[in-house]
Structure 1
């Protein structure tokens, strides 16, 4: 049996990353709310921060 990797839209990633930047909820809470692994949230948050330096 093969497992398909879930793909997320850039809009969804940005939404989750921005929520993580607000620091109103823990990564675990965001993970549960959005159904995404905490490692992915940290990765998207880091990517958003790295991209923000180009603005």
Structure 2
């Protein structure tokens, strides 16, 4: 059995990345210690329903 700690954070959509004719969200957030994290989602989005800055 593996112990897990789960925390949550509020991220900001900073861009859409187009790859293989699909759109992926680039998101930035900060950890509870203030470390900035930026990632691109693994799942493509179906439409630009959100806006950069949301």
Whether these two folds match at TM > 0.5 is no
TM-score (norm 1): 0.28
Pick the structure with more strand per residue. 2
TM-score (norm 2): 0.28
